[in-house]
Amino acid sequence: MTSAPAVEVSALRKAYGHKKAVDGLDLVVEQGEILAVLGPNGAGKTTTVEILEGFRHRDAGDVRVLGEDPATAGRAWRSRLGVVLQTTNDLAEATVGELVHHFAQYYPDARDADEVIDAVGLREKVGTRSRQLSGGQRRRLDVALGIVGRPELVFLDEPTTGFDPQARRSFWDLIARLRDDGTTILLTTHYLEEAEHLADRVVVVNEGKVVAQGAPADLGGRTARQALVRWTAADGPHEERTDTPTAVVQRLAQTYGEVPALQVLRPTLEDVYLALIGRTSGDADQDAATETTEDAR
């Protein structure tokens, strides 16, 4: 891409007392991409995003979001952002239609409110009070409020926490359409499948630093890691780790013809992620189950 990045962060630092929440973090988000930020609770994700949104002051480092410093940027800059927080309970008695039309009035070049309601799939709920919406429907309303101002950059903080699988897939389709329309999206999530499905790039944050970044398929040298070949013989199951799985399969085929219960497994994104942050699968499950409103604070 030839245009300037939507987000540029260099040597970002933020501490709370003796706790270093963000410790020299560097980050770039290109225009028009979806960037997923992964990391365990306490890694510094939320603190970083709040600094980018202009909600929290940094201790040190250079930050540019849409060409401006969030610490000093004004109202015109804020109108170019969309922010979808992890949890919202505001204006519970207002209807979907009332909220989207009301928020549209805050922006100089807002999208048509009715078109936004249709885009997020809430036409049938336009007269429903927000407190009566399901979790997935409320999340769609949050996105509607975040995009009605026609933002260039949208921040999504754990957008599908608590969703059932069908609602999550529908939400992914909505996010993909936003990207196709040219919107830049910075996404924080605990769901590795979500990052792999949506993100053009993934950044892994741990202890306030970026420990790895790249396309989901390539993160942490994933494609270069050894494959695991499994099969079953007369004496029971076998497995072999190898850099050349095709050669192993060819050898097995010469021995067995049709190889019984053959599997060739590459490391998953979860395998790579857990290795990068030094955690176990149980730790990751606990992270995904824990809803937090603060990171490293």
Amino acid making up residue 277: I
- For residue 147, give the nearest of 90, 95, 80 by alpha carbon: 80
Please report which confidence band the pLDDT of residue 262 belongs to, taking 50, 70 and 90 as the band edges. Answer: very high
Q: Which residue has the tokens 């949890």?
A: 87
Asked whether residue 294 carries a pLDDT value surpassing 60, the answer given is: no
User: Measured at the alpha carbon of residue 279, what is the angle toward residues 296 and 9, in degrees to the nearest 5?
Assistant: 45
Decide if 225 contacts 188 (C-beta within 8 A). no
Q: Which residues of 77-108 are buried (b: 16+ CB within 10 A; e: fewer)?
A: bbbbbbbbbbeeeeeeeebbbbbbbebbeeee
- For residue 38, give the nearest of 280, 286, 281, 277 by alpha carbon: 277
d(CA 85, CA 9): 21
Residue 20: the pLDDT is 94
pLDDT digits (tens, 9 = 90+) for 2-27: 589 999 999 999 999 999 999 999 99
Annotate 219-264 with DSSP letters as a single string.
Answer: GGGGGGSPEEEEEEETTEEEEEEES-HHHHHHHHHHHHSS-TT-EE
d(CA 223, CA 282): 24
Residue 50: the pLDDT is 94
Residue 105: the pLDDT is 94
Which has the higher per-residue pLDDT, 157 or 288? 157
Please report which confidence band the pLDDT of residue 290 belongs to, taking 50, 70 and 90 as the band edges. Answer: very low
Decide if 149 contacts 82 (C-beta within 8 A). yes
Strand partners, 105: none
Decide if 159 contacts 191 (C-beta within 8 A). no
The mean pLDDT value for 48-60 works out to: 95
d(CA 117, CA 238): 54
- For residue 265, give the nearest of 222, 233, 216 by alpha carbon: 222
Structure tokens given for 206: 């741990």
pTM reported for the whole predicted model: 0.77
d(CA 137, CA 133): 6
Decide if 110 contacts 145 (C-beta within 8 A). no
Asked whether residue 224 carries a pLDDT value surpassing 80, the answer given is: no
Residue 284: the pLDDT is 45
Please report which confidence band the pLDDT of residue 285 belongs to, taking 50, 70 and 90 as the band edges. Answer: very low
Please report which confidence band the pLDDT of residue 222 belongs to, taking 50, 70 and 90 as the band edges. Answer: low
Asked whether residue 287 carries a pLDDT value surpassing 70, the answer given is: no
Q: Would you call 153 helix, strand, or coil by DSSP? A: strand
Positive or negative CA dihedral for 127, 129, 130, 136? negative
Q: What is the CA radius of gyration of the chain?
A: 22
Decide if 156 contacts 84 (C-beta within 8 A). yes
Decide if 151 contacts 82 (C-beta within 8 A). yes
Decide if 7 contacts 65 (C-beta within 8 A). yes
Other C-beta atoms lying within 10 Å of the C-beta of residue 282: 9
Q: Which residue has the tokens 């987000």?
A: 7
Structure tokens given for 183: 């919107």
Mean pLDDT over all residues of the chain?
A: 87
